[in-house]
Amino acid sequence: MAYNFPIARRVIRWSRSAARQWRLRHQHPVNFALHLVGIPLALAGLVSLAFLAWPYALSAFCGGYLLQWIGHRIEGNDVGELIPLKRWLGLPVVAIAPQYLPVANDSHPQHQQNPVQPTEHS
């Protein structure tokens, strides 16, 4: 008997797509490293609201988010949480830094090398 789990398949498909998008937006090694520290720190700040005095929890959350923001400034793209807001306001969005945009094919003029033309000396 085969079981069908359409919701689970959708969740798995969505999570794979989200992970691919996340990796595209965090390609600079410094940005990636800052996120490795900043995300757990921000999440710990949220969780610690129930256990610590709120100034400490808020400091952890803001510090973690600040690290992530710095990483995105280094990479040259927008922070993910601000992208929907910027789109809603009609502002320009940089989801993936231009230097990391995927190239569709190798025939792009930027990737073609110009052969060196020999110069004629008379």
pLDDT of residue 106: 53
Given this model, what pLDDT does residue 81 score? 87
35: how many CB neighbours lie within 10 A of its CB?
Answer: 20
Q: Residue ranges per domain, the chain?
A: 23-92
Q: What is the rounded CA–CA span in Å between residue 77 and residue 46?
A: 25
Instruction: Give the whole-angstrom CA distance, residue 122 versus residue 115.
Output: 22
Quick one: pLDDT at residue 105?
A: 60
CA distance 44 to 37: 11
49-75, pLDDT tens digit by residue? 888 888 999 999 999 999 999 999 999
Regions of the chain with pLDDT less than 50: 1, 108-119, 121-122
121, 102 Cβ separation under 8 angstroms: no
63 closest CA partner among 46, 51, 79: 46
pTM, to two decimals? 0.71
- Both tokens of 39, joined, read 């995300």
